[in-house]
Amino acid sequence: MKTIEEINRKIARDEAIILTAAELKSMVRAGKNVTLDDVDVVTTGTFGVMSGTMAVMMVPVAGKCSFERADSIWLNGVPAQPGPCPNERLGVVDLVINGTAHADDRYGGGHLFRDLVKGKEIDVLVEAHGRRYENQVTLDDIDYVRIITTRLAFKNYHALINPTSATINTIFSVTGLTGPFTEATVSGCGEINPLQNDPSRRIIGVGTRVLLNGAPGYIMGRGTRSSPDKPNVSAFADMKGMDPAMMGGMKTSHGPECLTSLAVPIPVLDEDTLSGLKILDHNVPLPVSDVNGRTAHTKVNYGHIWEGTDRVIRIEKERCLHHPDCAAMRTCPTDAISNNFVINRDLCINCGTCTLQCSEGVFRARLGSIELAEGTVPISLRQSDRARAERLCTMLKNRILKHEFTPTQMLEPL
């Protein structure tokens, strides 16, 4: 048996063996008998739509005594809630802004958070006592700015289907979820998900140090709707250390959503910890639910989603007929496709929407399918980006190896 303190001493001496979850799973798939001598820390991660994301910040607006207190405030048109502190006559506004708030059907809180982290100038509009006050700020102008999640990183999530003939606008579809049983949308990074790799909750708890959107942060505790069977966590981190490639916004048929990521190191303490880390996609349950009320329909596994499928969208330009109204470009939920038919890999989350919208097959990927009693149902949308989550695991591994990140002991269990 090892302790976190012993592992951290090995890290300090450059003697620790750090593996990403993908590296460990590859060893397991290859038939290697992985033992405690083979690994000290495994980095896990997830990236995808996380509705329970918000930001808390204090934004400069005008000079002192310009207004008493803000009644309303918008950042790039996205509405926020002033407070809780009134900051009377100080010209600054404390605010809370939800990742799911939106200025229109293409731009929301998630887009705003990413723009802030990228250093873009943000338009601020305040209404106070019938008057308007405007300012432009960047992240450097904001002294206090944190991302807080009310819930994220469910121990994987579920696939959603529509058993009715009516198309349903939902956050789980880009163009509307059709039926009956014609398509399925899915969330969850399967075998590399942090909570999936700590089934006994011995590592991940209150005070566990993590990367939230690429920035050092901490687990606060359980998230909303967390349960023993489907746990999730709440976390926080300073926005100023975040990586714009590990966060963002996504358009859906029911308004913009927020993209958030989490990476967690799992120190390998004993055989029980190692056993939990050896789980593979086909052993990870994937509940299938009716989008109407989220009622359970059946259960499959994440092997259908991530085994034998393509992590990354491919592009074959020679197939393009140059339609003046490119459906793939128009419907891309992250605006990752440009006029010259290039995919912006910084924005693309490999969701697969373009592969179904392009009738010429310019954009290609095997997305997989699930087997139901009603028949084979193809996956039409992935709201989690496994490739990006694996990059996040590598980012955390490298930071540990460079002594830029140290795993911590939790303060108390979830």
Q: What is the DSSP string of 8-63?
A: HHHHHTT---EEEHHHHHHHHHTT----GGG-SEEEEEEEEE-SSEEEEEEEE-S-
Under the banding of pLDDT at 50, 70 and 90, the label for residue 322 is confident
Sorted by where each begins, the domain ranges of the chain are 53-147
| pLDDT at residue number 398 | 99
SS (H, E, C) 183-197: CEEECCCHHHCCHHH
Q: What percent of the chain has pLDDT over 90?
A: 95
Q: Mean pLDDT throughout 18-27?
A: 99
**SS3 of residue 106 by DSSP:** coil
Rounded CA separation 191/124 (Å): 42
Q: Residues 371-408: pLDDT tens digits?
A: 999 999 999 999 999 999 999 999 999 999 999 999 99
Residue 323: the pLDDT is 86
Residue 366 pLDDT: 98
Pairwise CA distance, residues 90 & 92, whole Å: 6
Nearest to 263 by CA among 391, 364, 112: 391
Distances (CA, A) of 135 to 63, 110, 120, 349: 11, 21, 14, 32
Average pLDDT for 221-239: 97
Residue 251 has pLDDT above 90, yes or no: yes
Instruction: Dump pLDDT digits (tens) for 81-98.
Output: 999 999 999 999 999 999
pLDDT for res 341: 75
Distance CA 152, CA 382 (A): 16
- Mean pLDDT (whole number) for 182-209: 98
Which of 12, 8, 23, 10 has the alpha carbon at shortest distance from 393?
Answer: 23
Average pLDDT over residues 323-345: 91
Side-chain-facing half-sphere of 307: CA atoms under 13 Å: 15
Q: Is the pLDDT of residue 126 over 90?
A: yes
Question: What is the distance between the alpha carbons of residues 8 and 23, in angstroms, rounded to a whole number?
Answer: 20
Give SS3 for 95: strand
Q: How far apart are CA 252 and CA 171, in angstroms?
A: 5
Rounded mean pLDDT of 87-110?
98
Cα–Cα distance, 22 to 387 (Å, whole number): 10
215 Rama class: left (phi>0) / alpha (psi -120 to 50) / beta = beta
Average pLDDT over residues 302-323: 94
Computed over every residue of the chain, the mean pLDDT equals: 97
Q: Which segments within 61-116 are labelled E, that is strand?
A: 72-75, 78-82, 92-98
In sequence order, which ranges of 67-177 are alpha helices (DSSP H)? 109-117
In 10 A of CB 374, how many CB atoms? 12
Q: Is the pLDDT of residue 144 over 80?
A: yes
Contact 137, 115 (CB under 8 A): no
* Distance, CA of 254 to CA of 49 (rounded, Å): 13
- Look at residue 244 and give its three-state secondary structure: helix
pTM beyond 0.85, yes or no:
yes
Q: What are phi and psi of 238, to 5 degrees?
A: -75, 130
